[in-house]
């Protein structure tokens, strides 16, 4: 069965359309056929702008809001600047995952502001853009986009394209932390269950707890990084270098880093401390990926009998 054709609102002025999926108003220039996005504005504002634009085309009225879009658009748009900004980002030598996230954020910003002249972006434009995500309960995304926008316009100032940062006066969204916290009693119950999961799972949990490092770093711990009574670490996310003493002790759990590392050496032919000697689900014996640590912790957590809400904690 063929899809039903998209029906346009007959009550809107000529040349004005509203796309429900994107919640965007667009005005079509009847002379050139080019569509101009009005963004996520109120219906009455879109109608007013469309009427003004239609009058301008009929040479009866000169609009104030669509004039620059109807005339020849300046060449240096936000889209043009974003191409340059990506080059600047690449020079920073960011981690691949960080760069991937940044490019996705830049793509979202380009979709919203790409055709607008860089010098025409206002604080109101950015505030309305961020408000859309806040209203949709996507405060983390709004916060991330604001951070990138701040940097985008900061670099534009450095290169002399604009004089002020329009993103700076906007409110910084405060993401609500939904993930439940893991208290010591709960961790102990989960840790006891880990002994029945695999050889490496309890070692991974103990290393994470006694060193306080992220899963990416724990998965990358090597015996060859142990020198002169220290465990040398280069954090995957930040690039920071650490040297943790092997006699570091977590009193409440009775863990000593040296003892945990020695336990990791048992039946482990690899240089990696977290190593699985068992083929599992198509995975060959070898070091574990960070996602495997996360999944293992989730499986052990669910089998432990500890009750959590809809957003249970992940590996510490």
What distance in Å separates the CA atoms of residue 72 and residue 185, rounded to the nearest whole number? Answer: 67
Phi, psi of 123 (to 5 degrees): -60, -35
**Across 173-189, average pLDDT:** 77
Q: What is the pTM of this model?
A: 0.51
Q: In order of start, what are the domains of the chain with their CATH numbers? A: 16-70 (3.30.160.60), 78-158 (1.10.150.130), 184-303 (1.10.443.10)
pLDDT digits (tens, 9 = 90+) for 19-51: 887 788 888 887 777 888 888 888 888 888 888
Tokens 């879009």 -> residue: 69
Q: Residue 21, exposed/middle/buried by CB under 10 A (0-12, 13-18, 19+)?
A: exposed
What distance in Å separates the CA atoms of residue 309 and residue 316, rounded to the nearest whole number? Answer: 17
pLDDT value, residue 21: 79
- 61 versus 293: which is more confidently predicted? 293
Looking at every residue in the chain, the average pLDDT score rounds to 85
DSSP state of 60: S
The DSSP bridge pattern shows strands 275-276 and 226-227 to be: unpaired
Q: How confident is the model at residue 282 (pLDDT cuts 50, 70, 90)?
A: low
With pLDDT > 70 as the criterion, what percentage of the chain qualifies?
88
pLDDT digits (tens, 9 = 90+) for 114-160: 999 999 999 999 999 999 988 888 888 999 999 999 999 999 999 99
Q: Dmax over Cα atoms in the chain, in whole Å? A: 86
Least confident of 79-83, 107-111, 204-208, 290-294: 290-294
In this structure, are residues 200 and 285 in contact, taking their beta carbons and an 8 Å threshold?
Answer: no
Query: In 3D, which of 128, 172, 126, 169 has the Cα closest to residue 149?
Result: 126
pLDDT value, residue 138: 87
């Amino acid at each position: 069965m063929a899809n039903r054709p998209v029906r346009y609102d007959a009550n809107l002025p000529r040349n004005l359309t509203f796309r429900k999926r994107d919640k965007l108003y667009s005005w079509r220039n009847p002379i050139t056929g080019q569509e101009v996005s009005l963004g996520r504005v109120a219906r009455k504002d879109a109608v007013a702008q469309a009427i003004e634009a239609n009058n301008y085309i009929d040479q009866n009225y000169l609009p104030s809001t669509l004039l620059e879009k109807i005339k020849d658009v300046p060449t240096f748009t936000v889209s043009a600047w974003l191409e340059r900004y990506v080059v600047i980002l690449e020079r920073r030598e960011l981690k691949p995952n960080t760069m991937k996230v940044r490019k996705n954020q830049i793509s979202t910003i380009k979709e919203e502001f790409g055709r607008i002249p860089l010098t025409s972006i206002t604080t109101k434009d950015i505030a309305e853009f961020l408000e859309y995500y806040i209203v949709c309960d996507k405060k983390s995304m709004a916060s991330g986009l604001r951070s990138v926008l701040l940097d985008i316009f900061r670099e534009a100032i450095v290169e002399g394209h604009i004089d002020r940062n329009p993103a700076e006066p906007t409110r910084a969204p405060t993401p609500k932390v939904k993930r439940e916290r893991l208290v010591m009693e709960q961790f102990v119950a989960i840790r006891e269950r880990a002994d029945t999961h695999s050889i490496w799972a309890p070692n991974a949990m103990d290393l994470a707890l006694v060193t306080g490092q992220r899963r990416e770093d724990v998965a990358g711990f090597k015996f060859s990084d142990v020198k002169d009574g220290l465990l040398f670490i280069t954090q995957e996310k930040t690039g920071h270098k650490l040297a943790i003493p092997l006699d570091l002790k977590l009193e409440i759990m009775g863990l000593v880093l040296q003892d945990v590392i020695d336990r990791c050496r048992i039946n482990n032919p690899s240089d990696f401390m977290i190593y699985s000697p068992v083929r599992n689900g198509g995975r060959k014996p070898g070091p574990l990926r960070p996602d495997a640590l996360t999944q293992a912790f989730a499986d052990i957590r669910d089998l432990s009998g500890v009750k959590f809400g809809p957003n249970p904690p992940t590996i510490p």
